[in-house]
Chain A
Amino acid sequence: MKNIIVACGGGVATSGAVASKINTELEALGLSHKAKAEAVDIKSLELFARTADIYVSITPMPGANHDDFPIPVLNGIPFLTGVGKDEIMEKLVKLI
């Protein structure tokens, strides 16, 4: 079971919505037994990253790189805007 985390300011609203969207997509693909997304508080991100496998980021910063982050990082903005969602889902499925 892969653990996917999504983080926002309180670990509630935006990250919760994205996590629920990812879970719905996983269910549609028949992958819900292989991975599950969870919303977490960005203030404790490092704590949660220790037990997670994939980090879906919805707090992008231009020029920032995630090379030194302990787990793979994916851009989760497409789940919010709907633009490019299929591509990012493909990338996610490959990591699972």
Chain B
Amino acid sequence: MAADLLKKPSSTSSQHQNKKVECADSLFDYLFAAMIDTLRTGGDQGPRKEELLAETVRAIGFDVGYRLAESIAQGRVLAAESLEVNVMKFICKEFWIEIFKKQIDKLQTNNQGVFVLRDAKFRWLAPFTANDESTRRAAATVLNFPCGLIKGALENLGINSTVQAEVAPAVPSCSFTIKIRRSGSGSSSSASLSAR
């Protein structure tokens, strides 16, 4: 997982995908924790502190997701018809496997541009064992990063969306709600859904 986020750009002469730089998962975990902590303690401490922190973490996730999707989608052609479903499957399978070495556990859709991705054992929530209010708030902060990841990857694959995460009652489980924002003359039913 961390290997891919921190992957060195491979040399141009060799096949990019065959050359993955391995590095420890724990390294990423520490880096991620340090990043959140630095952002939380540094920076703006005003009344909008929580909001700004969430925005920053999302922005970082977006950037990483966008770049990562470019690399993972390199050898993959996504069929243009029913692009949204194909892209969602791509996110649930290839993209998720690349990061977490497992698929998303459940993908649901209302066929109107809303997709719900459920991960029963989300790796980045594994450190959160208690089930009280403050833990859940901290978990929600952490989940801004994967939200950004998904949004960035979707953006790169041509889908404009909003992504929200919810922490499930049993903590290492969580779900992501993706609402697709269709522009212009798309189906009008989804236009009202996508307001944020």
- Whether chains A and B associate is no
A residues lining the B interface (CB < 8 Å): none
